[in-house]
Structure 1
Amino acid sequence: MTVVHGTSDPAGPSGGGGCGPRLKHSDGPWLRAAGGAEELVTHLGPVRHDLASAHGGLRAGAGRLTALAELAAVRESWERRIQAAQGECGSLAGKLREVARIQGATDEAARSSLAAVAPCKGDER
């Protein structure tokens, strides 16, 4: 949110009867963050498949290595973490978009209710 000092009142932002500083909402940062979260979901998409492919030939070449069981457990752990990260990023993107929508609606409702009480001279609505 940005404070914008109105210039329509000669008394200035704190002058008698003036409208004072104006708050202006910008949904840009929220929407960019949502886009970034969606990009992470997309980026993580092929990772589990790549991990499975990398481990594919390991069992055949490892013979009877005891570390194979531990390696499988590590792989399963990473697969769960990747899936959880995808889910969290997908959920976060929607929540960030909702914040932008709600913030804009709240700002507009506040602006409308205040305009009925004391409209500013030269208000751009």
Structure 2
Amino acid sequence: MVKWVLLTLLFISASMTMVLADYPDLKGTWHADSGDIYIIGDKIEESTAGVNDWVIEEQSDKVIKGTKSFLTGEEIINETFVGVFDSEGKSLYFLDQQGGLSFGTLTDPDTLSITLLNPGSMKEDGEMMVILTLKRT
């Protein structure tokens, strides 16, 4: 009986290890040449996002950590972010340094579709949505 219990525990432990290993490795640099921006104020303004680079520096199981850089006007902005995979390992949820919330979908091993929602730091800035397609470089 003890053998069966030990074998069962070993099987469960091995299964849990396999589940943990099922999340894709996203470490590295992800790049978008441009994207779409929608700013919502008194009216909806459309614009083009410039270059975006997201660098995933750490991944521990389903949690990823990194930095992103992007151009706003003449200024390069650098922010840290943390992300987490959903239970299926295809969708991700990110929170960045400024409080922006992003939703991502891994469309293939080297393509990440991102939708960023940012409430804006000041009311006159308006709320913003950014749509990006990041490619692993």
* TM-score, normalised by the number of residues in structure 2: 0.23
Return the structure number with greater relative CO, CA threshold 8 A, min gap 6. Answer: 1
Greater share of helix: 1
Structure showing greater Rg: 1
Greater share of strand: 2
